[in-house]
């Protein structure tokens, strides 16, 4: 257990200190040998032609230069057949629990019709779960973090069942697409335990000093960008098992294609999403991943120390540490109230829609817009299904639940 119940009334609370060590290092020249290239028809009905490894290399869609990995989509040719040439890769190894840390210089940029994702998925979808760490479409301005399960799991006040899942868009304007790239990239980390699944996003300016090291410790990183807490409403171990890591960039399909006609910016560009993606290759010159490193860590050991209720949680690199919350299955979680005092920057923060529809007011924090649940912040009552500012051009007028994929990414 990484987060333990606060013991109110006794003056002390146990605080779990987790230690992680490298299990698999996908970085550099090892990268593509640890993945398989998926060439099947896109399960999200995208207008995409996933190519094999030899074709990807021959067409300069994949490369490793000085240890830096690139995965691209075609931006030169008018597409035909199944669609625009692109890459989808799945890790050979599977994982249950652990810490995944992805350091990116670049993710696929904002472009009408695009749908990139970095995610994890179990073998029997949705019963073994899906964890979407980075995902979005078209001109989306911040990351969509989503969990998909069978019917027995609810977190952040929502059912995680099936293709809708339980989802939150967080991280601020530097967490996704052009905003991420223009800010010099960043680091995403996902910690998965029996008690919770936490996702962290940090800009490169203020990330914790140990996040790329041999023994990272998320308990010192401050509050996660998104926190999906198990408990009575979701048995995480029963719903998330044996996950592969996946990178893909698709186009149109059951999300980006489905909302094309109602998109005020992209819709006027062509009659359909497929028409645009097929005939406008130059729109996708930024449709590539540039990966500095990807590592999966397993828990080496853990210990528990007593911390006084009114004392600060131990932290060497962050202004705020995670709040113990194992007994609250729907409470929102916020990001640090100040940037971590380390070499890289915390992007954003907070998450969650409690079951009663109460959410935290959207107040800018540091260089990314987010929300906080600390005592110095105001809360407001808003509908459980919120309107979201989804496009760079302003509010889309569509609900977050409608914009979630209506799809299955598994094969």
* pLDDT given for residue 19 in this prediction: 82
Q: Is residue 302 part of a domain?
A: no
Q: How many residues does the chain have?
A: 411
Quote the tokens at residue 192.
Answer: 């998965």
Domain with residue 219: its CATH number is 2.60.120.200
What's the half-sphere exposure (Cβ side, CA atoms, 13 Å) at 379?
20
Distance CA 375, CA 182 (A): 33
To 5 degrees, how large is the angle CA 257–CA 263–CA 265?
120
Nearest to 411 by CA among 46, 71, 137: 46
pLDDT band, residue 234 (cuts 50/70/90):
very high
- Is 282 part of a structural domain of the chain? yes
* Number of domains into which the chain is organized: 1
Q: Which two tokens stand for residue 29?
A: 């020249």
Please identify which of the residues 40, 130, 299, 387 carries the catalytic annotation.
Answer: 130
Are the CB atoms for 114 and 251 separated by under 8 Å?
yes
Which residue, among 380, 396, 377, 376, has the nearest Cα to 388 in the 3D structure? 396
pTM: predicted TM-score of the whole model, two decimal places: 0.74
Domain carrying residue 151: 20-296+326-403
With CA atoms as reference, report the closest residue to 388 among 141, 184, 218, 51. Answer: 141
Q: Given this model, what pLDDT does residue 410 score?
A: 54
Active site residue 135: yes
| pLDDT(224) > 80 | yes
Place of tokens 């996702």: 199
Query: Which residues, at least 6 apart from 66, have a Cβ–Cβ distance to it below 8 Å?
Result: none
pLDDT digits (tens, 9 = 90+) for 298-318: 997 544 333 333 333 333 333
Tokens of 379: 């809360």
73 CB-near residues (< 8 Å, 6+ apart):
61, 84, 85, 86, 87, 108, 249, 251, 284, 287, 288
Rg for the chain, CA atoms, rounded: 20
Give the rounded percent of residues in the chain with a pLDDT score beyond 90.
Answer: 68
Does the residue 130 lie in any domain? yes
**Can you tell me the distance from the alpha carbon of 19 to that of 21, in angstroms, rounded to the nearest whole number?**
7
**Does residue 11 form part of some domain?**
no
Residue with tokens 């597409």: 79
* Residue of 40, 135, 308, 387 marked catalytic: 135
Q: Which residues, 6+ apart, have CB-to-CB distance to 376 below 8 Å?
A: 337
Question: Which of 24, 66, 64 lies closest to 295, judged by CA?
Answer: 24
What is the residue-averaged pLDDT of the chain?
A: 77
Residue 318 in any domain: the answer is no
How far, in Å, CA of 274 to CA of 266, rounded? 12
Q: What is the pLDDT of residues 25-76, one digit of tens each?
A: 999 999 999 999 999 999 999 999 999 999 999 999 999 999 999 999 999 9
Considering the domain boundaries, does residue 8 fall inside one? no
Choice between 175 and 16, residue whose per-residue pLDDT is larger? 175
DSSP β-bridge partners for residue 174 = none
pLDDT band with cut points at 50, 70 and 90 for residue 349: very low
Is residue 301 domain-resident?
no
Tokens of 75: 């931006």
Determine whether 130 is an active site residue.
Answer: yes
In a domain, 134, yes or no: yes
Q: Which residues pair with 296 in a beta bridge?
A: 24, 100
């Amino acid at each position: 257990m990484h987060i333990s119940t606060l013991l109110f009334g006794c003056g002390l609370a146990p605080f779990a200190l987790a230690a992680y060590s490298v299990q698999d290092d996908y970085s550099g020249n090892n990268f593509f040998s640890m993945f398989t290239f998926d060439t099947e028809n896109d399960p999200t009905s995208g207008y995409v032609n996933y190519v094999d490894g030899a074709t990807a290399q021959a067409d300069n869609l994949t490369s490793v230069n000085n240890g830096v990995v690139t995965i691209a989509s075609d931006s030169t040719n008018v597409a035909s057949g199944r669609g625009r040439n692109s890459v989808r890769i799945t890790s050979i190894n599977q994982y249950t629990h652990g810490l995944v840390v992805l350091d990116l210089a670049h993710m696929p940029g904002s472009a009408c019709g695009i749908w990139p994702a970095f995610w994890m998925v179990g073998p029997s979808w949705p019963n073994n779960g899906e964890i979407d760490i980075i995902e979005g479409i078209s001109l989306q301005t911040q990351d969509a973090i989503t969990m998909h399960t069978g019917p027995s799991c609810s977190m952040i006040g929502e059912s995680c069942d099936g293709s809708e899942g339980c989802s939150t868009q967080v991280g601020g304007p530097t967490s996704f697409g052009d905003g991420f790239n223009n800010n010099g990239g960043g680091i995403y980390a996902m910690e998965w335990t029996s008690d919770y699944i936490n996702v962290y996003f940090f800009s490169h300016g203020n990330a914790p000093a140990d996040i790329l090291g041999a023994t990272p410790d998320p308990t010192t990183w401050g509050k996660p960008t998104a926190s999906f807490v198990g408990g009575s409403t979701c048995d995480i171990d029963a719903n998330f098992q044996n996950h592969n890591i996946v990178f893909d960039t698709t186009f149109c399909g059951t999300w980006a294609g489905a909302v094309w006609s109602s998109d005020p910016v992209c819709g006027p560009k062509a009659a359909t999403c497929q028409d645009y993606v097929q005939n406008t290759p130059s729109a996708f010159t930024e449709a590539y991943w540039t990966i500095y490193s990807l590592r999966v860590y397993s828990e080496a050991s853990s210990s528990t120390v007593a911390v006084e209720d009114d004392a600060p949680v131990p932290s060497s690199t962050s202004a705020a540490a995670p709040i113990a919350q194992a007994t609250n299955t729907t409470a929102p979680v916020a990001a640090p109230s100040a940037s971590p005092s380390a070499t890289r920057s915390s992007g954003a923060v907070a998450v969650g829609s409690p079951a009663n529809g109460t959410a935290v007011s959207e107040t800018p924090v540091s260089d990314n817009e987010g929300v906080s649940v600390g005592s110095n912040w105001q809360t407001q009552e808003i509908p459980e299904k919120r309107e979201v500012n989804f496009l760079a051009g302003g509010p889309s007028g569509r609900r977050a639940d409608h914009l979630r994929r209506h799809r299955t990414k598994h094969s």
